[in-house]
């Protein structure tokens, strides 16, 4: 109560603060909002938008006042904000139940929305990002390696399927392990020379690697089709039964099960396919965490020097995390190529890597559930903004900043070690 | 062949100066708060857009004298761009000062996306061409039918970069702000205990970084004559690569890295294939880091336990 009473007379200082913000907004706004260069018959001419600028500055002024007012009343706990890495041992069993709930919801979603193809399609996109997020989580969340070029492995997977299926007629299921192996190989090729680098050097090297892969795909036209990409990639089949209207070539999915042909079958099949792949990824990763190599990932993340001192081969530990993360990215890439039926280097740009990394970090590093929540958020946000599509990427960027500032440790900050020493006396 | 070589040397030096100036901003910020300021490339882009606006405005007012127009553009671009640099730090990085290493990186990426789209929305997505402010140049010599050109804009870029480097070196090594800045790089807690306003020093670092990027933005606008909202990303990545190549945190290293990358780009484009010039840059980066994990001029980091 005392702090509250203390804060009330500060109206003058609040106004001063808001005036400062308005002044800065004015400076920010003049060159971008106030003035605009427009094309006037070949040469540029200046157009002014002073009313907009005024509105912007006024909004910032009022917004700052409101924000301060709200912050005063919420009494934002500074100490709580600063603690971005939660204490080890903060167990939250209810998270597990939320996880089961989410899986249950994912299972019934296509049935609940069976008439709505758009919802199922969007959910499929969400699940691709969930799978990519879980893959990258191995590298970033568990092993603590900053990878800014994860999309390269996604691209390797997608192009492996695209090339093998269009040139050699390989099917989805045969290609899956090959593409995973190819992506993992690329992971090792990149990781072997570079993994001894410190965090941020590794970040720029992985970023460069992602760009190298993309530039090769763009420029090596004979191999990858260049900027035009690869088209008419065959869709996955249900154990050999294609999702097509009745054909002479053999039984289709619809005719085999005596169903009426509907294009929705394929949409739902793709959804369940990525759901199964994603759940297998989750199972695989959570099992890996309990193996010695998985424990080693977390140990290296927490203290690399101590691990070295204990005689661990840190490079091999990191390399295994890198290869497994790459392999999972490759799997997701195969699915992506099979779903789209068309791939081009456009799909594998840096902003895609940034989005996947944002999903991992926004979700809370190392948290499997956090990845799901962040994927839903980051995929749905631009989708919801489709009506005013010009602003969606603007809002996307702003949301990334706001979520990070609001919860620096991620939405579900999770730092539960897989194994812990038993407490004294309480022998487990 | 000599002519071709000299020409590429000049082009590379010009391009390298621009990369070097942007790289200084990256390396300063990295040195003081240990984060990759992903939005720095977009700060440079904003400066280029502002330069287009100012030059158009000056043209419509009838101020055409080259030195005057250039000086006004530089000053205006530096002022407004610095405000952007300051605001970016204040909004996206300062609240995350004590967070884990990845949190500011993500908000920086968010800021970069935000700035790019903000400019696209407010200034339009079309490429903005301006009239050549400083056309022409010297013809140095001709050998084997190849004439080596040295454009006035190239002289301007190299000269302005050189002057700026002298001022900047003086600022960092001799002034009290420079001492505070270097102290913060070494130990922020200790510096704060000595009564230095660490937050303000960090803000100033962002302002100076943005000012250097602003100069680079103005010069690129004058040099190429076309600008759009997406130039920040590629330039930012190249400049960051330059900073890492030279050893991140090292100021001479950033400039050296910028020059090396400028040279590789122009020589690779001229003698080999322009399509793969960026691949060459990144491959060189990986090779250098394999043998010198702290960059060319970086000090190897000793980890204390």
Q: What is the pLDDT of residue A2?
A: 44
Cα diameter, chain B: 66
Q: Which class for B139: exposed (0-12), middle (13-18), buried (19 or more C-beta within 10 A)?
A: exposed
- By mean pLDDT, which of A69-83, A352-366, A380-394 is the weakest? A69-83
A386 — pLDDT class (breaks 50, 70, 90): low
Which residues of chain A are within 8 Å of residue B114 when distances are taken between CB atoms? 394, 397-398, 400-401
DSSP codes, A344-365: -GGGG-HHHHHHHHHHHHHH-T
What radius of gyration do chain A's Cα atoms show?
A: 25
- Give the CA-trace dihedral at B46, B52, B55, B61, to 10 degrees: -110
Mean pLDDT of A336-351: 88
Which of B36, B84, B91 has its CB closest to that of A203? B36
Is the pLDDT at A420 greater than 70? The verdict is no
Q: Which residues of chain B are within 8 Å of residue A203 when distances are taken between CB atoms?
A: 36, 105
A394/B118 touch (CB, cutoff 8 Å), yes or no? yes
Query: Distance (Å, rounded) from C-alpha A205 to C-alpha B283?
Result: 9
Chain B CB contacts of A397 under 8 Å are: 110-117
Instruction: Provide, rounded to the nearest whole percent, the portion of chain A with pLDDT above 70.
Output: 84
The tokens describing B216, both together, are 């680079």
pLDDT at B133: 76
Contact residues, chain A, for B49 at CB < 8 Å: 31-32
Q: Is the pLDDT of residue A426 over 60?
A: no
Do the Cβ atoms of B124 and A36 come within 8 Å?
yes
Q: What is the pLDDT of residues A253-265, one digit of tens each?
A: 766 776 767 777 7
> Looking at the partner chain, which of B106, B248, B301 has a beta carbon nearest the beta carbon of A361?
B106
Mean per-residue pLDDT over chain A, rounded: 81
Q: Are A154 and A173 in contact (CB under 8 A)?
A: no
Q: What is the dihedral of CA A291, A297, A302, A306, to 10 degrees?
A: 90
pLDDT at A4: 47
Instruction: Label residue A79 by pLDDT band (50, 70, 90).
Output: very low
Choose the mutation target among B98, B106, B118, B247 for the interface with A, i.e. most A CBs under 10 Å: B106
Burial (Cβ within 10 Å: 0-12, 13-18, ≥19) of residue B177: middle
The model's pLDDT over A280-331, given as tens digits with 9 standing for 90+, comes to 999 999 888 889 888 898 888 888 888 889 998 888 899 999 999 999 999 9
Give the helix/strand (H/E) hosting A85. none
Would you call B53 and A409 a contact, using CB atoms and an 8 Å cutoff?
Answer: no
Residue B305 has pLDDT above 60, yes or no: no
**Residue A140 pLDDT:** 87
Q: In whole angstroms, what separates CA A58 from the centre of its chain?
A: 36
Q: Hey, is the C-beta of A205 within 8 angstroms of any chain B C-beta?
A: yes
Domains and CATH numbers, chain B: 2-291 (1.10.3470)
Task: Look at B233 and A28 and tell me if their CB atoms are within 8 Å.
Answer: no
Mean pLDDT on B260-277: 88
User: Is A249 a residue whose pLDDT tops 80?
Assistant: no
The pLDDT score that the predictor gives to residue A1 is 41
B101's CB contacts (< 8 A; 6+ apart) are A146, A199, B34, B35
DSSP state string for A255-313: HHTT----THHHHHHHHHHHHHHHHHHHHHHHHHHHSHHHHHHHHHHH-HHHHHHTT--
The yes-or-no verdict on residue A425 having pLDDT over 60 is: no
| pLDDT confidence bin for B212, thresholds 50/70/90 | very high
The CA-CA-CA angle for residues A148, A152, A156, to 5°, reads 160
* Chain B environment of A204 (Cβ under 8 Å): 36, 240-241, 244, 285
**Is pLDDT at B239 greater than 70 in this prediction?**
yes
The more confident residue out of B50 and A237 is B50
Judged by DSSP in three states, A79 sits in: helix
Where residue A3 falls among pLDDT bands split at 50, 70, 90?
Answer: very low
Predicted confidence at residue A416, as pLDDT, reads: 58
Distance CA B256, CA A371 (A): 40
Which residue matches tokens 């300021």? B37
Which position has the token pair 């290609």? A175
CA distance A357 to chain B (A): 8
User: Which 3 state secondary structure label does DSSP give A51?
Assistant: helix
Residue B3, min C-alpha distance to chain A (Å): 29
Predicted local confidence at residue B218, as pLDDT: 92
Query: Residues of A numbered 105-134 whose beta carbons fall under 8 angstroms of chain B's beta carbons: which are they?
Result: none
For residue B154, give how far its alpha carbon lies from the nearest alpha carbon of chain A (Å): 24
Quick check: A236 and A165 in contact, CB under 8 A? no
8 A C-beta contact, residue B116 and residue B43: no
> What confidence score (pLDDT) does residue A428 get?
41
The reply to whether residue B87 touches residue A45, judged by beta carbons under 8 angstroms, is no
pLDDT digits 0-9 by tens, A5-33: 444 557 788 888 888 888 888 888 888 88
Better pLDDT: A124 or A2: A124
Nearest to A28 among B84, B111, B295 (CB): B84
- State the burial class of residue B68 (Cβ atoms within 10 Å of its Cβ: 0-12, 13-18, 19+): exposed
pLDDT classification of B132: cutoffs 50, 70, 90? confident
Asked if pLDDT for residue B79 goes beyond 90, the answer is yes
**DSSP, res A232:** -
Task: Tokens 């001192």: give the residue.
Answer: A309
**Which structure tokens are listed for B95?**
């609240």
Phi, psi of A368 (to 5 degrees): -70, -40
**SS3 state of residue A35:** strand
User: Which residue has 């908000």 as its token pair?
Assistant: B107
Q: Rounded to an integer, what is the distance from CA A368 to the centroid of its chain?
A: 12
Mutate to test the interface with B, among A405, A409, A415 (most CBs of B within 10 A): A405
Lowest mean pLDDT among A1-5, A41-45, A133-137: A1-5
Query: Lowest-confidence range among A94-103, B215-224, B225-234, B262-271?
Result: A94-103
**Tokens 């990149």 appear where?**
A190
Residue of B nearest to A357 (CA): B106
pLDDT grade, residue A333 (50/70/90)? very high
pLDDT given for residue B303 in this prediction = 59
Residue linked to tokens 């959910």: A123
Chain A residues near residue B283 by CB distance under 8 angstroms: 212
Listed as own residue / partner, the contacts of A283-290 with beta carbons closer than 8 Å and 24 or more positions apart are A284/A328, A285/A134, A285/A137, A285/A138, A285/A142, A285/A328, A285/A368, A286/A368, A288/A138, A288/A324, A289/A142, A289/A418, A290/A418, A290/A419
What pLDDT does A98 receive? Answer: 81
The tens digit of pLDDT for each residue in A191-234 reads 888 887 777 778 888 888 898 999 888 888 888 888 888 887 88
Q: What's the pLDDT band for A185 if we cut at 50, 70, 90? A: very high
CA B106/CA A399 separation, integer angstroms: 11
Residues B257, B246: Cα–Cα separation, whole Å:
5
Closest CA to A335 of A141, A188, A185, A130: A130
> Where do the domains of chain A lie, and which CATH numbers do they carry?
2-79 (no CATH), 94-406 (1.10.3470)
Task: Please tell me which residue of chain A has the smallest CA distance to B95.
Answer: A405
Helices (H), chain B: 2-33, 40-61, 66-88, 102-123, 152-174, 176-186, 188-193, 198-224, 231-246, 251-271, 277-291
What's the CA gap between B98 and B92, in Å, rounded?
Answer: 13
Q: Distances in Å between the alpha carbon of A141 and those of A201, A365, A404, A418, B290?
A: 18, 5, 16, 13, 25
Q: What is the mean pLDDT of chain B?
A: 87
Distance (Å, whole) CA A319 – CA A327: 12
The answer to whether B226 and B129 have CB atoms below 8 angstroms apart is yes
Contact A361 B102 (CB under 8 A): yes
């Amino acid at each position: 109560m005392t702090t509250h009473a203390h804060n009330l007379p500060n109206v003058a200082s609040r106004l001063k603060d808001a005036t400062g913000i308005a002044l800065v907004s004015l400076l920010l706004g003049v060159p971008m909002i106030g003035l605009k260069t427009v094309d006037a018959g070949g040469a540029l001419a200046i157009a002014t938008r002073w009313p907009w600028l005024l509105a912007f500055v006024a909004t910032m002024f009022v917004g700052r006042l409101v924000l301060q007012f709200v912050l005063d009343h919420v009494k934002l706990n500074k100490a709580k904000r600063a603690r971005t890495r939660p204490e080890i041992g903060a167990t939250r069993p209810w998270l597990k139940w939320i996880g089961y709930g989410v899986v249950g919801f994912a299972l019934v979603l296509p049935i609940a929305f069976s008439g709505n193809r758009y919802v199922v399609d969007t959910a499929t996109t969400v699940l691709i990002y969930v799978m990519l997020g879980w893959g990258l989580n191995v590298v970033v969340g568990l092993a603590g390696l900053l990878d800014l070029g994860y999309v390269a492995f996604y691209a390797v997977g997608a192009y492996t399927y695209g090339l093998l299926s269009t040139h050699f007629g390989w099917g989805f299921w045969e290609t899956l392990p090959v593409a995973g192996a190819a992506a993992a190989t690329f992971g090792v090729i990149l990781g072997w020379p570079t993994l001894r680098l410190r965090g941020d050097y590794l970040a720029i090297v992985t970023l460069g690697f992602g760009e190298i892969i993309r530039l090769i795909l763009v420029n090596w036209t004979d191999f990858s089709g260049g900027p035009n990409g690869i088209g008419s990639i065959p869709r996955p089949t249900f154990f050999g039964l294609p999702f097509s209207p009745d054909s002479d070539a053999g039984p289709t999915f619809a005719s085999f099960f005596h169903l009426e042909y509907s294009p929705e079958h394929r949409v739902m099949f793709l959804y369940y396919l990525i759901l199964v792949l994603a759940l297998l990824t989750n199972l695989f990763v959570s099992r890996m965490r309990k193996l010695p190599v998985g424990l080693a990932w977390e140990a290296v993340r927490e203290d690399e020097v101590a691990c070295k001192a204990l005689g661990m081969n840190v490079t091999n530990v990191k390399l295994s995390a890198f290869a497994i993360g790459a392999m999972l990215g490759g799997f997701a890439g195969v699915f992506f190529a099979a779903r789209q039926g068309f791939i081009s280097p456009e799909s594998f740009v840096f902003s895609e890597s940034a989005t996947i990394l944002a999903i991992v970090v926004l979700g809370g590093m190392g948290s499997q559930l956090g990845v799901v929540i962040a994927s839903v958020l980051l995929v749905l946000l631009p989708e919801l903004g489709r009506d005013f599509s010009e602003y969606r990427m603007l809002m996307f960027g702003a949301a990334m900043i706001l979520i990070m500032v609001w919860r620096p440790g991620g939405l579900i900050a999770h730092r539960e070690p897989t194994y812990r020493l038993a407490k004294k006396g309480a022998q487990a | 062949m000599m002519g071709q070589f000299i020409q590429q040397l000049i082009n590379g030096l010009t391009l390298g100066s621009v990369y070097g100036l942007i790289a200084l901003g990256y390396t300063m910020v990295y040195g003081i708060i240990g984060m990759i300021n992903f939005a720095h490339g977009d700060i440079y882009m904003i400066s280029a857009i502002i330069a287009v606006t100012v030059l158009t405005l000056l043209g419509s007012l009838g101020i055409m004298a080259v030195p005057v127009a250039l000086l006004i553009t530089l000053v205006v671009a530096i002022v407004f761009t610095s405000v952007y640099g300051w605001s970016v730090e204040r909004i996206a990085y300062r609240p995350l000062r004590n967070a884990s290493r990845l949190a500011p990186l993500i908000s920086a990426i968010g800021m970069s996306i935000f700035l790019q789209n903000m400019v696209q929305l407010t200034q339009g997505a079309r490429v903005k061409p301006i009239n050549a402010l400083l056309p022409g140049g010297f013809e140095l010599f001709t050998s084997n039918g190849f004439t080596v050109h040295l454009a006035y804009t190239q002289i301007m870029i190299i000269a302005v970069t050189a002057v700026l480097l002298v001022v900047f070196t003086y600022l960092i090594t001799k002034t009290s702000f420079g001492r505070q800045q270097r102290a913060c790089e070494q130990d922020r807690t200790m510096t704060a205990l000595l009564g230095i306003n660490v937050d303000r020093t960090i803000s100033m670092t962002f302002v100076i970084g943005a000012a250097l990027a602003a100069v680079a933005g103005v010069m690129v606008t004058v040099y190429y004559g076309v600008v759009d909202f997406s130039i920040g990303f590629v330039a930012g990545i190249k400049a960051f690569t330059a900073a890492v190549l030279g050893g991140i945190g090292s100021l001479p290293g950033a400039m050296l890295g910028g020059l090396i990358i400028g040279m590789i780009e122009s020589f690779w484009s001229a003698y080999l294939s322009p399509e793969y010039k960026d691949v060459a840059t990144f491959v060189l980066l990986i090779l250098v880091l394999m043998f010198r994990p702290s960059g060319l001029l970086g000090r190897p980091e000793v980890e204390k336990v």
